Amino acid sequence: MKTILVILGFICVLGLVISRSQRKEDDPLKNHKFAVVKTEAEWRKILTPEQYKVTRQRSTELACSGAYWKNHEKGIYKCVCCKLPLFDSKTKFESGTGWPSFYKAIHKDAILEIPDDSFGMSRTEILCSRCGAHLGHVFDDGPRPTGLRYCLNSVALDFEKDAK
């Protein structure tokens, strides 16, 4: 029994190594040049520990814990790292997931979509196109007109309320 478990463990590790090496060869970010580039120390100075963990280390905040998942005010959601406008409140909807969800980005070039096969799941990760901050993931179970659900971490966003 121990031998079988060791072999299965080895196969899992080997699979992860192979998938990571293939990801480097097919890296969609290989030719992308970020306009905002900082050292890890510089990011740590300007971000809270939670912001750093999510945006720079690709973590996820707990569901229903973020500041914007129930925000219904009108305005623009920007990248917390570089302030690039990403999503308009007009495209925000209640997804029932506990994270702020949108069906469309402000501009298609505001975000980058990259494959994410971490944790045994096949998803599409979204990054800020200006600084590479991890924002969340996009799924194809959203409302019309796009059918997309951009599921974001509140901590990766700054909200600028409409002036009225």
Instruction: Catalogue the active-site residues.
Output: 151
CB neighbourhood size of 27 (10 A): 12
DSSP per residue over 105-152, as a string? -SSGGGEEEEEE-GGG--EEEEEETTT--EEEEEES---TTT--EEEE
Nearest-angstrom CA–CA distance, 113 and 75: 24
Q: What is the dihedral of CA 24, 31, 61, 157, to 10 degrees?
A: 180
Q: What angle do CA 103, 117, 60 make, to 5 degrees?
A: 60
Partners of 139 in the β-ladder: 149
